[in-house]
Amino acid sequence: MELKMKKIEVLGKKDTRSGFGAGLHELGKKNPNVVGLCADLTGSLKMDAFKEEFPERFFQVGIAEANMMGMAAGMTIGGKIPYTGTFANFSTGRVYDQIRQSIAYSNKNVKIAASHAGLTLGEDGATHQILEDIGMMKMLPNMTVVVPCDYNQTKQATIALADHEGPAYLRFGRPSVPIFTPEDAKFEIGKADVLIEGTDVTIVACGHLVWKAIEAAEQLEAKGISAEVINMHTIKPFDAKAVLDSVSKTKCVVTAEEHMINGGLGDSVAQVLAQNTPTPQEYVGVNDQFGQSGKPDELMTKYGIDTVNVVQACEKVIKRK
């Protein structure tokens, strides 16, 4: 059998949170209105470079996330573009009401930068491994939700959000993962990337699961299955056309995310399909469970969100066509 799939080149390996830090630092240089706020996690969020070079525009708020969200909302009055920084759990669940009223409903130009999202935070365990944040954030009117897949894309997304007027949630993580998007690729909010073209099954993934989807596509090709891989880096606004165009060829879809199945990317895909062209779908995600302590890779396996799970879901959904 001839292998025809486009090979995705790996450019290196880095954590996505460092992409945020690099993007924020670059923004600091080119946009004097960008300010940073952090709730005692400057090193973890990789905000040090911004803090060092622009100390007057960096606000250490201490372990007080509710105050940080309110302050960020208030800072927009007078033209600042605040980026808040803390773990995803403390960026969403802990401060949902503050985000809802002072940022989303008030439609303030705040960028909520959330690190250590999902299971890959690892050993800290379930208290910190939020798997509900995409759902919470996408449910808020006015909120844009972005989940980039690697270092380069996280950096570009960080920069792009400064030019996007309105509240936004930017989700990224802690582990070092392959870099495979071009360094200079301009990030277009709401426009999905088709990374691999295929004809038998569509895989729609976000965040760390995009690389898993690429690995899955390579394994599927060896089995003679042609998978299309879509990097759905923006959950809201949702690129429905990208999904519909793809399933018009493949007639089935697998969604993959480091998030609860309830309320995540998969639900957004299902909504589009149900309203337009009902299509067999399988979900790769965490099924209504809290996480636990462990190494990131062990947890991906344990909770069924690894490459093998994407492969199996594809084989299963193809049979349902």
Q: Does 69 bind another protein (CB under 8 A)?
A: yes
Q: Does 57 bind another protein (CB under 8 A)?
A: yes
Q: Does 78 bind another protein (CB under 8 A)?
A: yes
| Least distance from another protein to the Cβ atom of residue 11, Å | 37
Q: Does 185 bind another protein (CB under 8 A)?
A: no
Q: Does 9 bind another protein (CB under 8 A)?
A: no
- Bridge partners of 34, per DSSP, are 81
Judged by DSSP in three states, 93 sits in helix
Interface with another protein (CB under 8 A), residue from 22, 71, 88, 286: 71
Q: Are 225 and 315 in contact (CB under 8 A)?
A: yes
> 43 CB contacts (<8 Å, ≥6 apart)?
none
Q: Does 136 bind another protein (CB under 8 A)?
A: no
Interface with another protein (CB under 8 A), residue from 94, 100, 164, 316: 100
Q: Does 112 bind another protein (CB under 8 A)?
A: no
Interface with another protein (CB under 8 A), residue from 16, 42, 76, 115: 76
The one catalytic residue in 26, 53, 65, 188 is 65
Kindly give the residue spans of alpha helices, DSSP state H, lying in 107-239: 133-138, 151-162, 209-222
C-alpha distance from residue 248 to each of 19, 195, 231, 320 (Å): 34, 17, 17, 15
The dihedrals phi and psi of 255, each to the nearest 5 degrees, come to: -110, 145
| Least distance from another protein to the Cβ atom of residue 116, Å | 22
Integer Cα distance of 54 and 28 in angstroms: 7
| Least distance from another protein to the Cβ atom of residue 64, Å | 4
Q: Does 97 bind another protein (CB under 8 A)?
A: yes
Helix (H), strand (E) at residue 313:
helix 307-319
Helix (H), strand (E) at residue 234:
strand 234-236
| Active site annotation includes 218 | no
Which one, 65 or 215, has the nearer CB to another protein? Answer: 65
Integer Cα distance of 54 and 77 in angstroms: 20
Interface with another protein (CB under 8 A), residue from 12, 43, 55, 77: 77
> 223 CB contacts (<8 Å, ≥6 apart)?
none
Q: Does 64 bind another protein (CB under 8 A)?
A: yes
Q: Does 62 bind another protein (CB under 8 A)?
A: yes
Q: Are 196 and 227 in contact (CB under 8 A)?
A: yes
Which one, 10 or 64, has the nearer CB to another protein? Answer: 64
| Least distance from another protein to the Cβ atom of residue 267, Å | 26
* Token duo for residue 95: 């401060």
| Least distance from another protein to the Cβ atom of residue 87, Å | 17
Integer Cα distance of 23 and 151 in angstroms: 10
- Bridge partners of 203, per DSSP, are 229, 254
Q: Does 34 bind another protein (CB under 8 A)?
A: no
**Contacts (CB under 8 A) with another protein, residues 211-250:** none
Q: Does 31 bind another protein (CB under 8 A)?
A: no
Q: Would you name the residues annotated as active-site residues?
A: 65
Query: What are the residues binding another protein (CB under 8 A)?
Result: 35, 56-57, 59, 61-62, 64, 66-80, 82, 97-98, 100-102, 105-108
